[in-house]
Structure 1
Amino acid sequence: MRRRAATATATATAATAFSAVLAVTALAAPATGAPKIDSGTKFWNIDVNHNRDYTVSVESTQKRVFTVGATVTDPSGVRSVSYELWHGKSRASADGLMVGAAHCVPLNETASFCEALVTADPKVNLRSNALAGVWTITPVAVDGDGNVTRGNGAYLARITRHTSMSQTVATPQPVKKGANLTVKARMTVASWEKRADAPLIGHQVLLQYRKGTSGPFVTVKKIKTDRNGWASATVKATADGAYRYNFAGTSLTTATIGWADFVDVR
């Protein structure tokens, strides 16, 4: 069996639409109890993990530290900023919460770029698989006069369960031209509840083939993983080439592409 690496990072589904929502700039509204209405504070270009799809993938046991940043402006300047990420229908009824205090770098007298490190940890704030999905970001700013403003708007992040795929294995090898070839790989997904990887059951993966040693991979079959996470398909051996499985991901799980197995056809 000759194996050749074929890895890539796939974009999460609906990333384009999701990014468009996140790009919305909103005028911040004051918090209850603030010293005065501070309509001058604004948050611009909320950014998550320096990533266009605003997605953070978290494994089953390892905590993941990621960035949340924005440009914050106020006529009196910016004293401090923090970011609250919460999961649920409202902040008051949230079933998940992450907070990060930002380090602010002044851009001029009225604007600062403020970025925080936020930690997603299965042992602390991601104890349930139900917490995968969209989280709302609430930026909180204190201006130069001490007024507190909590941002309102379409500030979102996506926290997903990390997926893994085993090495693709094609058997038998070497194989005669025209004979059946069985191609297998196993998919797992992070279980934050069990703090271990679990089989990814009933999800579609693409069996892909590349003739020879270069060129694009072409999808030849669509397979659903079984109760143990295995994808298995039978194909006719036609020529030397590589087989791999490709998982496009979902709104709750990350995409992944398995290592390819090069097949010697005789």
Structure 2
Amino acid sequence: MRLALLGAGVALAATAIGATNAQADGSSGNITIHKVVVNGGKPVVVGTTKVVSAKVSVTASDDSGIAETTYFAAFGPTPNYAQIWYDDGEITCVAASATTSTCTGTLTFDPQASTGFVGNNAAATWNLATLVSANDDDAFVLDAAATFKVQRYSKLTVDASPEPVKKGKTVTVTGKLSRANWEDNKYHGYVNQSVKLQFRKKGSNTYTTVKTIKSDATGNLRTTVTASVDGYFRYSFAGTTTTPKVNATGDFVDVR
């Protein structure tokens, strides 16, 4: 069984962690969980429409061998508490030895599902829980096997004008920083955020920062620079805990 998210584009970011029986919320026997990985340790970013999946793997061992992982469960913050989970019919375990196995499954996040949670507060730290069973019927429950962040998909645009422009004249660079809003499944401006204006000279592969400005009350960006040589302007946003980093596609300016 799986439960999806309502009104929430999400992202997962987790690093591999170690765990021992001392961390168990409920256990019997000698099962040890060695490593838990969500989405390869990389963020998974979801916006307002697209369904995104994140692979979860748990590596565990027991003297008798690992029989199965019964579930993975992802628990969101409160208010608007949410849970998504997979049962053992959708989790597979592969033995690396007589005692150790890695069990994998997939958490699915659907921003337009009819069950789950609603609210931008879901962009926060989540917990992953798991239940692992051994061949001798030992069981190991971890309610905080891993933590991961849920983030809101971000967009960034840029437009430099006029094109072409005379050398020494003013170039106006506009753009907009926006992110997914999970209360209406639309994109809204991300306000009062520091964004870098960067420039890449024609023939170069490297962008350098020209200046840093802040997005206005609607997420819009606007600044001016003096035209000097042909090249590409872009805006670059470093990201926050709730919103991933993003770079606009460079806009070429022909300086004559």
Same fold judged by TM-score > 0.5? yes
Q: 2:129 aligns with which of 116, 134, 138?
A: 138
TM-score by length of 1: 0.82
- 2 CA distance for matches of 1:141 and 1:62? 31
Which residue number corresponds to residue 236 of structure 1? Answer: 226
Deviation at 1:126, TM superposition (A): 4.5
Q: 1:165 aligns with which of 153, 156, 162?
A: 156
Note the residue ranges of structure 2 that are not aligned, 5 or more in a row: 1-10
Contact 2:80–2:118 under 8 Å retained in 1: no
Which residue number corresponds to residue 8 of structure 1? Answer: none
Amino acid at match of 2:109: A
- 2 CA distance for matches of 1:108 and 1:60? 42
Secondary structure in structure 1 of the residue aligned to 2:121: helix
Deviation at 1:157, TM superposition (A): 1.3
User: Alpha carbon RMSD of aligned pairs, Å?
Assistant: 2.2
CA gap 1:213/1:230 in 2 versus in 1, 3 angstroms: farther
Which residue number corresponds to residue 98 of structure 1? Answer: 84
Size of the aligned set, in residue pairs, is 238
Note the residue ranges of structure 1 that are not aligned, 5 or more in a row: 1-11
Deviation at 1:94, TM superposition (A): 8.2
Note if 1:249 corresponds to 2:243: no
Quote the sequence identity (%): 29
CA gap 1:160/1:126 in 2 versus in 1, 3 angstroms: farther
Note if 1:113 corresponds to 2:102: yes
Q: 1:71 aligns with which of 43, 59, 68?
A: 59
What do the CA deviations read for 1:232-259 (whole angstroms, capped 9, x no partner)? 1101111111100111111111111111
Bigger CA drift: 186-195 or 100-109? 100-109
- 2 CA distance for matches of 1:30 and 1:111? 21
What do the CA deviations read for 1:90-109 (whole angstroms, capped 9, x no partner)? xxx98121212421111222
- 1 CA distance for matches of 2:189 and 2:80? 29
Secondary structure in structure 1 of the residue aligned to 2:40: coil
Amino acid at match of 2:83: L
Q: 2:39 aligns with which of 49, 58, 62?
A: 49
Secondary structure in structure 2 of the residue aligned to 1:108: coil
Which residue number corresponds to residue 19 of structure 2? Answer: 25
Amino acid at match of 1:200: Y
